[in-house]
Structure 1
Amino acid sequence: MSVFALSRRTLIVAATVLAGLSGCATVSQPVSVADTIARTPSLSTLNSLVSKAGLTEALKGAGPFTVFAPSNDAFKAVPAKTLDELAANPEKLKAVLTFHVVPGKLAAADIKNSNVKSLNGAVLAVSKAGTFVTVENAAVTDADLLATNGVVHVVDTVLLPPAK
Protein backbone atom coordinates (compact mmCIF):
# COMPACT_ATOMS: atom_id res chain seq x y z
CA MET A 1 0.00 0.00 0.00
CA SER A 2 1.38 3.40 -0.88
CA VAL A 3 1.99 6.18 1.63
CA PHE A 4 -0.57 8.28 -0.27
CA ALA A 5 -3.28 5.62 0.16
CA LEU A 6 -2.49 5.26 3.88
CA SER A 7 -2.55 9.04 4.43
CA ARG A 8 -5.83 9.37 2.55
CA ARG A 9 -7.39 6.57 4.61
CA THR A 10 -6.11 8.18 7.83
CA LEU A 11 -7.61 11.53 6.80
CA ILE A 12 -10.98 9.93 6.02
CA VAL A 13 -11.07 8.13 9.39
CA ALA A 14 -10.03 11.32 11.23
CA ALA A 15 -12.66 13.37 9.40
CA THR A 16 -15.35 10.80 10.22
CA VAL A 17 -14.41 10.74 13.91
CA LEU A 18 -14.35 14.55 14.11
CA ALA A 19 -17.71 14.83 12.38
CA GLY A 20 -19.18 12.40 14.88
CA LEU A 21 -17.69 14.26 17.82
CA SER A 22 -18.90 17.63 16.60
CA GLY A 23 -22.46 16.28 16.66
CA CYS A 24 -22.01 15.30 20.30
CA ALA A 25 -20.46 18.58 21.32
CA THR A 26 -23.27 20.90 20.34
CA VAL A 27 -24.07 23.44 23.00
CA SER A 28 -27.51 24.98 23.01
CA GLN A 29 -27.57 28.74 22.85
CA PRO A 30 -29.14 30.62 25.76
CA VAL A 31 -32.74 31.65 25.24
CA SER A 32 -35.16 33.83 27.20
CA VAL A 33 -36.38 32.97 30.68
CA ALA A 34 -39.75 31.97 29.17
CA ASP A 35 -38.08 29.70 26.62
CA THR A 36 -35.79 28.23 29.28
CA ILE A 37 -38.86 27.29 31.33
CA ALA A 38 -40.55 25.85 28.21
CA ARG A 39 -37.46 23.75 27.35
CA THR A 40 -37.07 22.28 30.84
CA PRO A 41 -39.17 19.10 31.16
CA SER A 42 -39.47 19.35 34.96
CA LEU A 43 -41.11 22.79 34.55
CA SER A 44 -43.93 21.82 32.16
CA THR A 45 -46.67 22.62 34.70
CA LEU A 46 -45.17 26.05 35.35
CA ASN A 47 -44.84 26.65 31.62
CA SER A 48 -48.53 25.86 31.13
CA LEU A 49 -49.55 28.21 33.96
CA VAL A 50 -47.27 31.02 32.73
CA SER A 51 -49.00 30.74 29.36
CA LYS A 52 -52.48 30.64 30.95
CA ALA A 53 -51.66 33.77 32.99
CA GLY A 54 -50.45 35.63 29.88
CA LEU A 55 -46.92 36.04 31.23
CA THR A 56 -44.96 34.36 28.44
CA GLU A 57 -44.26 37.52 26.46
CA ALA A 58 -43.29 39.45 29.60
CA LEU A 59 -40.75 36.74 30.48
CA LYS A 60 -39.34 37.00 26.97
CA GLY A 61 -38.82 40.74 27.55
CA ALA A 62 -35.62 42.59 28.27
CA GLY A 63 -35.48 41.77 31.98
CA PRO A 64 -33.30 40.79 33.60
CA PHE A 65 -35.38 38.40 35.70
CA THR A 66 -34.63 35.80 38.32
CA VAL A 67 -37.30 33.11 38.39
CA PHE A 68 -37.65 30.70 41.30
CA ALA A 69 -39.45 28.09 39.21
CA PRO A 70 -41.52 25.43 41.01
CA SER A 71 -40.99 21.96 39.58
CA ASN A 72 -43.79 19.67 38.46
CA ASP A 73 -43.37 17.79 41.74
CA ALA A 74 -43.81 21.06 43.66
CA PHE A 75 -47.14 21.63 41.91
CA LYS A 76 -48.23 18.05 42.71
CA ALA A 77 -47.92 18.93 46.41
CA VAL A 78 -50.40 21.83 46.08
CA PRO A 79 -53.98 20.83 46.95
CA ALA A 80 -56.12 20.32 43.85
CA LYS A 81 -58.68 22.80 45.19
CA THR A 82 -56.03 25.54 45.34
CA LEU A 83 -54.87 24.81 41.78
CA ASP A 84 -58.47 24.86 40.56
CA GLU A 85 -59.03 28.25 42.23
CA LEU A 86 -55.90 29.64 40.60
CA ALA A 87 -56.88 28.28 37.19
CA ALA A 88 -60.30 29.93 37.53
CA ASN A 89 -58.89 33.29 38.61
CA PRO A 90 -56.25 34.63 36.17
CA GLU A 91 -55.40 37.63 38.38
CA LYS A 92 -54.76 35.43 41.41
CA LEU A 93 -52.73 33.04 39.23
CA LYS A 94 -50.68 35.97 37.94
CA ALA A 95 -50.09 37.18 41.53
CA VAL A 96 -48.81 33.74 42.57
CA LEU A 97 -46.57 33.37 39.54
CA THR A 98 -45.09 36.87 39.76
CA PHE A 99 -44.32 36.16 43.44
CA HIS A 100 -41.73 33.70 42.05
CA VAL A 101 -40.03 36.36 39.90
CA VAL A 102 -37.51 38.94 41.07
CA PRO A 103 -36.30 41.82 38.92
CA GLY A 104 -32.58 41.53 38.24
CA LYS A 105 -30.30 38.57 37.71
CA LEU A 106 -29.37 36.69 40.88
CA ALA A 107 -27.08 33.76 40.23
CA ALA A 108 -26.86 31.29 43.12
CA ALA A 109 -23.38 32.63 43.97
CA ASP A 110 -24.83 36.17 44.26
CA ILE A 111 -27.56 35.28 46.76
CA LYS A 112 -27.03 36.54 50.28
CA ASN A 113 -29.21 36.18 53.35
CA SER A 114 -31.62 39.01 52.67
CA ASN A 115 -35.04 40.03 51.46
CA VAL A 116 -35.79 40.77 47.81
CA LYS A 117 -38.88 42.30 46.29
CA SER A 118 -40.80 40.10 43.85
CA LEU A 119 -42.55 41.36 40.73
CA ASN A 120 -45.91 41.20 42.50
CA GLY A 121 -44.59 43.63 45.13
CA ALA A 122 -44.32 41.19 48.04
CA VAL A 123 -41.01 40.48 49.74
CA LEU A 124 -39.22 37.13 49.51
CA ALA A 125 -36.64 35.92 52.03
CA VAL A 126 -33.63 34.38 50.27
CA SER A 127 -30.73 32.70 51.99
CA LYS A 128 -27.64 30.70 51.28
CA ALA A 129 -25.56 28.32 53.39
CA GLY A 130 -22.55 27.08 51.44
CA THR A 131 -24.05 26.06 48.12
CA PHE A 132 -27.53 25.42 49.56
CA VAL A 133 -29.95 28.17 48.48
CA THR A 134 -33.49 28.73 49.73
CA VAL A 135 -36.25 31.18 48.95
CA GLU A 136 -38.89 31.39 51.66
CA ASN A 137 -39.52 27.71 52.57
CA ALA A 138 -38.43 26.36 49.17
CA ALA A 139 -35.07 24.78 48.42
CA VAL A 140 -33.35 25.43 45.11
CA THR A 141 -32.87 21.99 43.55
CA ASP A 142 -31.36 23.08 40.24
CA ALA A 143 -29.62 26.45 40.17
CA ASP A 144 -28.42 28.79 37.47
CA LEU A 145 -30.30 27.81 34.32
CA LEU A 146 -28.94 30.79 32.42
CA ALA A 147 -31.11 32.72 29.98
CA THR A 148 -30.48 35.71 27.73
CA ASN A 149 -32.61 37.88 29.99
CA GLY A 150 -31.90 36.40 33.41
CA VAL A 151 -31.67 33.14 35.29
CA VAL A 152 -34.00 30.34 36.41
CA HIS A 153 -33.62 28.38 39.65
CA VAL A 154 -35.81 25.28 40.04
CA VAL A 155 -37.41 25.08 43.49
CA ASP A 156 -39.19 22.26 45.31
CA THR A 157 -42.14 24.25 46.63
CA VAL A 158 -44.83 26.52 45.18
CA LEU A 159 -44.65 29.82 47.03
CA LEU A 160 -47.90 31.54 47.93
CA PRO A 161 -47.79 35.31 48.40
CA PRO A 162 -49.05 36.81 51.64
CA ALA A 163 -52.74 37.74 51.63
CA LYS A 164 -53.34 41.40 50.90
Structure 2
Amino acid sequence: MSRMLIRGALIVGAIAVAACGRSDIDDSGSAQPAEASLASVLERNPGHARLEAMIESTGLTEALAATGPYTLFAPPDDALATAGGDADMTDDALKAQAAQLLRAHIVPGALTRADIAAAVDRAGGEGAKMRTMADAVLTFTRDGERLVVRGPDGPAVALSGDEALARNGVIQPVSGLLLAPSTAPGAG
Protein backbone atom coordinates (compact mmCIF):
# COMPACT_ATOMS: atom_id res chain seq x y z
CA MET A 1 0.00 0.00 0.00
CA SER A 2 2.79 2.46 0.83
CA ARG A 3 4.45 1.79 -2.57
CA MET A 4 1.23 2.82 -4.30
CA LEU A 5 1.09 6.04 -2.28
CA ILE A 6 4.72 6.83 -3.10
CA ARG A 7 4.17 6.06 -6.81
CA GLY A 8 1.05 8.28 -6.82
CA ALA A 9 2.97 11.10 -5.11
CA LEU A 10 5.76 10.83 -7.69
CA ILE A 11 3.28 11.02 -10.58
CA VAL A 12 1.54 14.06 -9.06
CA GLY A 13 4.92 15.68 -8.46
CA ALA A 14 6.02 15.05 -12.05
CA ILE A 15 2.81 16.60 -13.38
CA ALA A 16 3.29 19.66 -11.14
CA VAL A 17 6.89 20.12 -12.32
CA ALA A 18 5.81 19.77 -15.96
CA ALA A 19 3.06 22.35 -15.48
CA CYS A 20 5.53 24.86 -14.03
CA GLY A 21 7.59 24.70 -17.20
CA ARG A 22 4.57 24.85 -19.53
CA SER A 23 4.93 26.94 -22.65
CA ASP A 24 2.64 27.71 -25.54
CA ILE A 25 3.34 28.41 -29.19
CA ASP A 26 2.78 31.88 -30.66
CA ASP A 27 2.03 32.96 -34.27
CA SER A 28 5.68 32.74 -35.26
CA GLY A 29 6.01 29.21 -33.87
CA SER A 30 8.10 30.40 -30.93
CA ALA A 31 7.49 29.03 -27.48
CA GLN A 32 5.78 31.51 -25.17
CA PRO A 33 6.12 31.12 -21.42
CA ALA A 34 2.68 30.56 -19.88
CA GLU A 35 3.41 33.31 -17.36
CA ALA A 36 3.66 35.99 -20.08
CA SER A 37 0.84 38.57 -20.12
CA LEU A 38 -1.20 39.53 -23.16
CA ALA A 39 0.87 42.70 -23.48
CA SER A 40 4.13 40.69 -23.45
CA VAL A 41 2.87 38.07 -25.89
CA LEU A 42 1.66 40.77 -28.28
CA GLU A 43 5.15 42.31 -28.30
CA ARG A 44 6.54 39.01 -29.60
CA ASN A 45 3.96 38.50 -32.35
CA PRO A 46 4.81 39.85 -35.81
CA GLY A 47 2.32 42.00 -37.72
CA HIS A 48 0.91 43.84 -34.72
CA ALA A 49 3.38 46.72 -34.21
CA ARG A 50 0.72 49.38 -34.86
CA LEU A 51 -1.69 47.65 -32.46
CA GLU A 52 1.03 47.47 -29.83
CA ALA A 53 1.81 51.20 -30.29
CA MET A 54 -1.88 52.08 -29.92
CA ILE A 55 -2.18 49.98 -26.77
CA GLU A 56 0.88 51.71 -25.33
CA SER A 57 -0.26 55.23 -26.26
CA THR A 58 -3.72 54.72 -24.74
CA GLY A 59 -2.43 53.32 -21.47
CA LEU A 60 -4.09 49.93 -22.02
CA THR A 61 -0.76 48.12 -21.61
CA GLU A 62 -1.29 47.97 -17.85
CA ALA A 63 -4.80 46.53 -18.31
CA LEU A 64 -3.50 43.86 -20.69
CA ALA A 65 -0.73 43.00 -18.23
CA ALA A 66 -3.22 42.72 -15.33
CA THR A 67 -5.10 39.69 -14.10
CA GLY A 68 -7.83 39.55 -16.76
CA PRO A 69 -8.66 37.28 -18.40
CA TYR A 70 -9.33 38.98 -21.73
CA THR A 71 -9.51 37.98 -25.36
CA LEU A 72 -7.98 40.49 -27.75
CA PHE A 73 -9.17 40.25 -31.35
CA ALA A 74 -6.03 41.62 -32.99
CA PRO A 75 -6.44 43.27 -36.40
CA PRO A 76 -3.37 43.41 -38.65
CA ASP A 77 -1.31 46.57 -39.00
CA ASP A 78 -2.66 47.41 -42.47
CA ALA A 79 -6.27 47.40 -41.16
CA LEU A 80 -5.32 49.74 -38.31
CA ALA A 81 -3.53 52.03 -40.76
CA THR A 82 -6.74 52.48 -42.74
CA ALA A 83 -8.78 53.04 -39.55
CA GLY A 84 -7.11 56.34 -38.85
CA GLY A 85 -7.04 57.53 -42.43
CA ASP A 86 -4.37 60.22 -42.44
CA ALA A 87 -4.48 60.49 -38.63
CA ASP A 88 -1.86 58.92 -36.37
CA MET A 89 -3.90 56.84 -33.92
CA THR A 90 -1.05 57.06 -31.38
CA ASP A 91 -1.32 60.88 -31.25
CA ASP A 92 -2.37 62.28 -27.87
CA ALA A 93 -5.30 64.10 -29.49
CA LEU A 94 -6.77 60.76 -30.60
CA LYS A 95 -6.05 58.84 -27.40
CA ALA A 96 -9.72 58.52 -26.36
CA GLN A 97 -10.82 57.44 -29.85
CA ALA A 98 -7.99 54.92 -30.11
CA ALA A 99 -8.87 53.49 -26.68
CA GLN A 100 -12.51 53.11 -27.77
CA LEU A 101 -11.39 51.32 -30.96
CA LEU A 102 -9.21 48.96 -28.94
CA ARG A 103 -11.94 48.23 -26.38
CA ALA A 104 -14.19 47.27 -29.32
CA HIS A 105 -11.68 44.46 -30.00
CA ILE A 106 -11.49 43.09 -26.42
CA VAL A 107 -13.95 40.78 -24.68
CA PRO A 108 -13.80 39.62 -21.07
CA GLY A 109 -12.71 36.01 -20.62
CA ALA A 110 -10.09 33.80 -22.24
CA LEU A 111 -11.66 32.44 -25.42
CA THR A 112 -9.80 29.88 -27.49
CA ARG A 113 -10.84 28.98 -31.04
CA ALA A 114 -12.32 25.79 -29.63
CA ASP A 115 -14.40 27.84 -27.15
CA ILE A 116 -15.65 30.15 -29.91
CA ALA A 117 -16.41 27.25 -32.27
CA ALA A 118 -18.37 25.47 -29.53
CA ALA A 119 -20.36 28.64 -28.77
CA VAL A 120 -21.16 29.09 -32.48
CA ASP A 121 -22.28 25.46 -32.76
CA ARG A 122 -24.53 25.83 -29.69
CA ALA A 123 -26.01 29.12 -30.93
CA GLY A 124 -27.02 27.78 -34.32
CA GLY A 125 -28.06 30.11 -37.14
CA GLU A 126 -28.14 33.33 -35.15
CA GLY A 127 -24.51 33.06 -34.13
CA ALA A 128 -22.84 33.38 -30.77
CA LYS A 129 -22.94 36.86 -29.23
CA MET A 130 -20.23 38.33 -27.01
CA ARG A 131 -20.07 41.80 -25.47
CA THR A 132 -16.88 43.85 -25.85
CA MET A 133 -15.23 46.16 -23.34
CA ALA A 134 -16.71 49.02 -25.45
CA ASP A 135 -20.20 47.61 -24.69
CA ALA A 136 -20.75 46.54 -28.30
CA VAL A 137 -21.91 43.08 -29.33
CA LEU A 138 -19.78 40.86 -31.55
CA THR A 139 -21.51 38.07 -33.46
CA PHE A 140 -19.58 34.90 -34.31
CA THR A 141 -20.69 32.57 -37.10
CA ARG A 142 -19.20 30.07 -39.53
CA ASP A 143 -18.47 30.54 -43.20
CA GLY A 144 -17.74 26.97 -44.21
CA GLU A 145 -14.91 25.90 -41.91
CA ARG A 146 -13.85 29.47 -41.07
CA LEU A 147 -14.95 31.27 -37.93
CA VAL A 148 -16.18 34.77 -38.73
CA VAL A 149 -16.82 37.70 -36.39
CA ARG A 150 -18.87 40.83 -37.08
CA GLY A 151 -19.12 43.97 -35.00
CA PRO A 152 -22.43 45.84 -34.62
CA ASP A 153 -21.89 47.85 -37.82
CA GLY A 154 -18.69 46.37 -39.15
CA PRO A 155 -17.76 43.98 -41.87
CA ALA A 156 -17.45 40.24 -41.31
CA VAL A 157 -13.80 39.36 -40.67
CA ALA A 158 -12.27 35.94 -40.24
CA LEU A 159 -10.34 34.66 -37.28
CA SER A 160 -6.97 34.23 -38.95
CA GLY A 161 -3.52 33.01 -38.04
CA ASP A 162 -2.80 31.15 -34.84
CA GLU A 163 -4.13 32.15 -31.44
CA ALA A 164 -1.54 33.08 -28.83
CA LEU A 165 -2.15 32.05 -25.22
CA ALA A 166 -1.08 34.18 -22.27
CA ARG A 167 -1.45 33.84 -18.52
CA ASN A 168 -4.27 36.38 -18.56
CA GLY A 169 -6.04 35.63 -21.82
CA VAL A 170 -5.82 34.91 -25.51
CA ILE A 171 -4.84 36.90 -28.60
CA GLN A 172 -7.03 35.98 -31.57
CA PRO A 173 -5.74 37.48 -34.83
CA VAL A 174 -8.52 38.68 -37.14
CA SER A 175 -8.31 39.65 -40.81
CA GLY A 176 -9.63 43.21 -40.36
CA LEU A 177 -11.31 45.75 -38.11
CA LEU A 178 -14.50 44.92 -36.24
CA LEU A 179 -15.84 48.41 -36.98
CA ALA A 180 -16.95 49.88 -40.30
CA PRO A 181 -14.33 52.36 -41.60
CA SER A 182 -16.86 55.21 -41.33
CA THR A 183 -17.31 54.58 -37.58
CA ALA A 184 -13.66 53.90 -36.73
CA PRO A 185 -12.04 56.73 -34.77
CA GLY A 186 -10.22 59.24 -36.96
CA ALA A 187 -12.05 58.12 -40.12
CA GLY A 188 -14.11 60.33 -42.28
Give the TM bin, normalised by the shorter chain: 0.7 to 0.9
Residue 59 of structure 2: aligned partner: 54
Shift of 1:143: 3.5
Matches within 5 A, 1:117-132: 117-129=131-143, 131-132=145-146
TM-score, normalised relative to structure 2: 0.65
Q: Distance in 2 between matches of 1:28 and 1:89?
A: 32
TM-score, normalised relative to structure 1: 0.74
Residue 152 of structure 1: aligned partner: 171
SS at structure 2 position matched to 1:41: coil
Q: How many residues align?
A: 137
Bigger Rg, structure 1 or 2: 1
SS at structure 2 position matched to 1:62: coil
Shift of 1:131: 4.4
Query: What is the RMSD of the two structures over their aligned residues, measured on CA atoms?
Result: 2.3
Shift of 1:116: 0.5
Matched to 1:146, the amino acid is L
Matches within 5 A, 1:1-164: 27-30=31-34, 31-78=36-83, 80-81=85-86, 83-84=87-88, 87=91, 88-111=93-116, 112=120, 113-129=127-143, 131-136=145-150, 137-160=156-179
Residue 10 of structure 1: aligned partner: none
Q: What are the Cα deviations for residues 7-53 of structure 1, in whole angstroms up to 9, with x where unaligned?
A: xxxxxxxxxxxxxxxxxxx8431311111111112111100000011
Identity of aligned residues (%): 33
Q: Distance in 2 between matches of 1:127 and 1:53?
A: 31
Q: Distance in 2 between matches of 1:65 and 1:75?
A: 20
Shift of 1:86: 7.1
* Residue range with higher mean Cα deviation, 58-67 or 85-94: 85-94
Q: Distance in 2 between matches of 1:91 and 1:77?
A: 18
Q: Distance in 2 between matches of 1:85 and 1:75?
A: 8
Flag structure 2 segments of 5+ consecutive residues without an equivalent.
1-29, 121-126, 151-155
Flag structure 1 segments of 5+ consecutive residues without an equivalent.
1-25
CA contact (8 A) 1:86 1:92 kept: no
